[in-house]
Amino acid sequence: MLTSATRTLLQKAASDVATGTATGTASVSASVAAATASDAYSMYGGMTPNLAFNSAMAAIFGVLFILQLAAGVYTRQWWILVSFLCACALEVAGYIGRALGHNDTTNIDTFLLQFICLTIAPVFTMAGIYYQLGKLVEIYGHRFALLKNPMLYSWIFMACDVISLIVQAVGGGMSGSAAADNTDTATGDHIFVAGLAFQVASMSVFLVLWFHLLYQIFVVSRMEHTGASKPSWSLVHVSQQDIDYKYRPKFEFLRIHPKRWVFNYFGYALTAAVLLVYVRCIYRVVELAEGWHGDLITHEVYFIILDALMMSMATTLMTVFYPGFAFKGRTVKIPIEKGSESEKVDSTMQSHSSMEIDPYNDKETLPQPGIPSRPPSRSQSFPHVRNSTDRTTHLV
């Protein structure tokens, strides 16, 4: 990719040759050497990728790839398995490209390998995460979500990511064609940045919906339970078990019977993972908006902190708090239904007062109405009964 400075040097050399002077030939040699040095500078903006760091990152994502593969196959979670394997494979390929770029910063193939792979990898990470939001809506209840069909969370935001990739591909193609013709690449670069900006915008909307869901599940439910009119710190003293009657009884065995740390902290881990990917995407937009010779793209320390660290931490969180373990994916199926369909199931279940999910039967997929089990808990049978002396803590 020839820069404007490179073209100026070559044009000057050509002019000197046209004069027929003895210095013309020397000028050509010097200009070619300067052009080579300038192009070497422009590929990574004068920065040489750190071999040890990028090799280590390739190894880390290689290990995460293996762990994700094992967890996905064991828990039979095929969607997140494919999504995260694609993300980890792209991260490995990208860091291999950067490691190879350490020895040859002028190699366009390794540069494009690392640039393309590391740019699109988060799309697959988020594709796996979007689907988990729909499952949480099923587990806690459709009434907490703004979108009553939980699958819309997946389809809408995955469609936004596909659009973002298409825009980025168009912009990258225009920049590549312009570079090959030695013309200005600004238009293609701007389109590419617009594609990334669209991805950040769609993630911002997703975060609004996500935090709204968390607020309804964990804050509004406690306010309803205690009779509070507004949020307060006293609500943190209300345990999840106390307010579980507010959620769908069908999945009580996933939430509190028995209590499992991987599920209890899954919401926090998923939130942290989304925020980490979000920070990384914002960094990429600002980096490319600065241009190929901006401070962010020419100093690898920013890439290490705001890209490599963010993505590796997000993937590690989703490996430790793997959705398949949180949702007992090996033995439990959680079909995502429309709000109206789930309400019919819930009303049918509630009409059989003697029926409730066996909390220790991990092998059942969905409870069948009419099958008796243990009697409903006191909090579920009489949710309106509260301690008159302390309305901020527990049910009687």
Dist. CA 122–CA 319, nearest whole Å: 15
- Percent composition of the chain: helix, strand, coil (DSSP 3-state, to 5): 70, 0, 30
Tokens coding 106: 């002028």
**Whole-angstrom distance, CA of residue 111 vs CA of residue 54:** 13
- The candidate with the shortest Cα–Cα distance to 243, out of 365, 70, 380, 132, is 380
Tell me the angle at which helices 108-140 and 78-101 cross, rounded to the nearest 10 degrees: 160
CATH code assigned to 44-343+353-381: 1.20.1070
Q: Please give the radius of gyration of the chain, using alpha carbons only, rounded to the nearest integer.
A: 28
Number of residues that make up the chain: 396
Q: Name the β-bridge partners of 386.
A: 395
Whether cis (ω within 30° of 0) applies to the bond prior to 258 is yes
Please, which contacts does 79-84 make with residues 24 or more away whose CB atoms are closer than 8 Å?
Answer: 79/128, 79/131, 80/128, 80/131, 80/132, 80/323, 80/324, 83/124, 83/125, 83/127, 83/128, 83/131, 84/124, 84/125, 84/128, 84/315, 84/318
Type of residue at 197: A
Q: Is 141 left (phi over 0), alpha (psi -120 to 50) or beta?
A: left
Say how many Å lie between the first and final Cα of the chain, rounded: 73
Q: Report phi then psi at 352, rounded to 5.
A: -100, 85
Residue listed under structure tokens 């993505």? 311
pLDDT tens for the chain, 396 residues: list them: 444 444 444 445 444 444 444 444 344 344 334 444 444 454 787 789 999 999 999 999 999 999 999 999 999 999 999 999 999 999 999 999 999 999 998 888 898 899 889 989 999 999 999 989 889 999 999 999 998 788 888 899 999 999 998 998 888 878 777 766 778 878 888 898 999 999 999 999 999 999 999 999 999 999 999 999 999 999 989 998 999 999 999 999 999 888 889 999 999 999 999 999 999 999 999 998 888 788 998 899 999 999 999 999 999 999 999 999 999 999 998 988 876 555 555 545 444 433 443 443 444 344 444 444 444 444 444 344 344 334 333 332
Phi-psi region of 244 (alpha: psi -120 to 50; beta: other; left: phi over 0): alpha
Any idea of the CA torsion for 248, 254, 257, 260, to the nearest 10 degrees? Answer: -140
pTM metric for this prediction: 0.77
> Is residue 194 within 8 Å of residue 165, measured between CB atoms?
no
